[in-house]
């Protein structure tokens, strides 16, 4: 039996820097185009397009701060996801921790923030199940963590380390956990 993990444990997330920069850069270009077009357009339309372009640039800056500083920690009975802008706690509940096979480079959960095989935010694991997703690299599998509210889908850099930490976190509060494989959910509906 492997040694028990000491809590809290910081788990590195799988990241693909090139895709992250491309993902953020695409949004940045949209904002810049809006500003350039707005400054060249006359009257109220030009002002409105410029303001929209500036709003998109601010959104991209906040999104970059969030995504680039995102981290995951496993504590006794819970998983904490935090960044410079957001802090969330996911209390563990009884249930199976599953490894879900994920097609590389394709959206799996249909989150609103996604592209290039990356996904972040609320999505769907099945037509009737919402799941919070952190996928910052187009990995081959995701770890699905049962938690109060929504399940958490994570792409860690080391699945083994995350599973060991989750087992220790569940043991601390007396939860029985199992690790299994999950089937690929149905493709999300197009928006």
Instruction: Give the sign of the dihedral formed by CA 174, CA 71, CA 25, CA 85.
Output: positive
187 is a domain residue: yes
Predicted TM-score of the model (pTM): 0.80
Q: Which residues of the chain have pLDDT under 50?
A: 1, 184-191
DSSP H/E element including 33: helix 17-40
pLDDT value of position 187: 46
* Domain count along the chain: 1
Q: What pLDDT, in 10s, does the model give residues 93-140?
A: 988 888 888 777 677 788 888 888 899 999 888 788 889 999 999 888
Q: For residue 1, is it within any domain? A: no
pLDDT of residue 105: 67
> What's the CA gap between 41 and 79, in Å, rounded?
49
Q: What pLDDT does residue 4 have?
A: 60
- The domain in which residue 133 lies consists of 7-191
User: Is 137 within a domain?
Assistant: yes
Alpha-carbon dihedral sign for residues 83, 86, 91, 94: negative
């Amino acid at each position: 039996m492997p040694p028990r993990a000491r809590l809290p444990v910081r788990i590195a997330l799988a990241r693909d820097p090139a895709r992250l920069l491309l993902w953020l850069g695409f949004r940045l270009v949209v904002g810049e185009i809006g500003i350039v077009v707005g400054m060249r357009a006359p009257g109220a339309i030009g002002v409105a397009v410029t303001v929209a372009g500036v709003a998109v640039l601010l959104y991209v800056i906040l999104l970059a701060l969030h995504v680039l500083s995102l981290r995951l920690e496993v504590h006794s009975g819970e998983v904490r996801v935090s960044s410079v802008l957001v802090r969330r706690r996911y209390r563990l509940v009884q249930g199976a921790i599953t490894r879900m096979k994920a097609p590389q480079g394709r959206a799996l959960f249909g989150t609103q923030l996604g592209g290039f095989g990356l996904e972040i935010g609320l999505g769907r694991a099945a037509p009737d199940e919402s799941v919070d997703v952190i996928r910052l690299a187009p990995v081959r599998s995701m770890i699905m963590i049962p938690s109060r509210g929504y399940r958490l889908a994570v792409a860690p850099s080391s699945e083994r380390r995350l599973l060991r930490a989750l087992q220790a976190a569940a043991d601390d509060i007396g939860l029985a956990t199992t690790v299994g494989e999950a089937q690929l959910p149905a493709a999300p509906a197009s928006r």
